[in-house]
Amino acid sequence: QEEGVQGILHYQPTFHFTGLQRMGYDPNQCPVSSEFFYKRELNLPMHPRLTDENINDMINGVKNAAAKVRKRHCKA
């Protein structure tokens, strides 16, 4: 979002849903991989009305965000 690219979370672990929590589901019942994936997924806009400019903006936004993450991790 900081780079002007709106991402949406599509795939949440089942225990994140209130209805399932009320039924007794909790994080210990789900594989570790579901939470691992959830925290690392990247969903970019994809639809037929995207223009070349939109796509280039997304590419640049992802590159800039990746550079910031790299820079942050290299300081550690």
Residue 46, token pair as written in the block = 């994809």
- What does the radius of gyration of the chain's CA atoms come to, in whole angstroms? 17
Q: Each residue's pLDDT tens digit in the chain (76 positions)?
A: 666 666 666 667 777 778 877 887 776 766 666 677 777 778 888 899 999 999 999 899 889 888 988 888 887 5
Residue 6, token pair as written in the block = 């709106």
- Tell whether 4 is covered by a domain: no
> Is residue 63 within a helix (H) or strand (E), and if so which, with residue range?
helix 52-75
* Tally of structural domains, the chain: 1
- Chain segment 25-42, per-residue pLDDT in tens: 776 766 666 677 777 778
Instruction: Report yes or no: 25 and 12 within 8 Å, Cβ to Cβ.
Output: no
Range of the domain at 38: 14-75
CA distance 21 to 63: 37
Mention every residue, 6+ apart, whose C-beta is less than 8 A from residue 33.
Answer: none
| pTM for the model | 0.56
- Tell whether 6 is covered by a domain: no
